[in-house]
Homo-oligomer: A and B are copies of this chain.
Amino acid sequence: MKRERKGEIWDFEHELPGGSGGGGQRLILGLDGGTTKTICVCMPIIPFTANHSPPVYARAVAGCSNHNSVGETAARETLEQVMAEALSKSGCSRAAVRAVCLAVAGVNHPTDQQRILDWLSDIFPNDVEYYVENDAVAALASGTMGKLHGCVLIAGTGTIAYGYTEDGREARASGAGPILGDWGSGYGIAAKALTSVIRAYDGRGPETMLTCSILHELQLSSPDELIGWTYADPSWARIATLVPVVVSCAEVGDQVANDILLHAVQELASSVKAVVHRLGLCGKDGKDSFPLVMVGNVLEANKRWDIGKEVIRCISKDFPGTRLVRPKVEPAVGAALLAWNYLIEQYH
């Protein structure tokens, strides 16, 4: 069954002009696999300077590839499809690929890494270099042009803080998913909002504008119906789409919504602080400068109630050397740059 599907996915290779080698091209694939979407970019191995954007031949987008959210089979199918689409758009086959950097949410343990490495080597020819990382690592690299130093905070559907020292030590906080307390994530914010609606309806919590706004957004008529809606589909991303509703309610002064966002800010800041502390990125006096890369739509809302700005304010109080970086390239390009840097290290 899987074999058959894989055949279909790569069918385009037979139709490429000049055989399967892609005309002597040498390519890097960079993947950013998140809980909402997965992006693959295809980068040629040609020189470029730091002042210019890295060259990108093609870009493909697919759905969730976090195996903890959708299961391993679905996650792998998504990853394979998005790689094939990016290559197909570049007009190249797998034979042109020299390195793949796969940065996916849900990679938390060496065994996760090894399973994906084994699976990758089943797809590509033998002489490809593989790098498998948590998606946070690619997000950091997207802000530092492939150099792993400093801290990154992602807050999209999920959230994670990840850091590296110049000498290669690393640390993370959060990123353990919704059951294990990622309260600053988009999912966490939305789940708390849904919970507040239920509590108000039960008589266990204060009335909130969230009730009206969320029911309207979901086209439901009663909070009772939220229970069925919530469990009808286990996807985390679906819950997280309610974040803008929470922000809107907080902006017009709803206390419950405001408290949810304030709590999220505390949680997000505390993840970064934990990483900075453990790695000593702030130096002994707590004032050293380090880059903090911020990524994800929860931090990029840029509305009147600006979650990202509040998080930075909260972190800077403890660490005045925090240097905010908003990446100019996307995390998938960060993943490709990582592979590029690994390749260069290896050949020098």
Residues of chain A touching chain B, judged by Cβ–Cβ distance below 8 Å, are 68-69, 106, 108-109, 111-112, 172-174, 176-181, 191-192, 194-195, 198-199, 202-204, 222, 224-228, 230-231, 234, 239, 270-271, 274-275, 277-278
Contact = CB atoms under 8 A, between A and B. Distances in A.
A170 to B, nearest CB: 13
Contacts of A226: 176, 180
A192 to B, nearest CB: 8
Contacts of A222: 109
Chain A interface, DSSP helix/strand/loop, else mixed: helix
A178 B222 CA distance: 19
Contact of A198 (B106, B180, B203, B278): B180
A203 B273 CA distance: 9
B191 A239 contact: no
Given A172-B202, A204-B270, A228 B180 contact: no
Q: Which residue, A225, A227, A271, A275, has most C-beta atoms of chain B within 10 A? A: A227
Contact of A231 (B177, B195, B225, B274): B177
A204 B271 contact: yes
A29 to B, nearest CB: 26
A200 to B, nearest CB: 11
A234 B234 contact: yes
Given A179-B231, A181-B199, A204 B109 contact: no
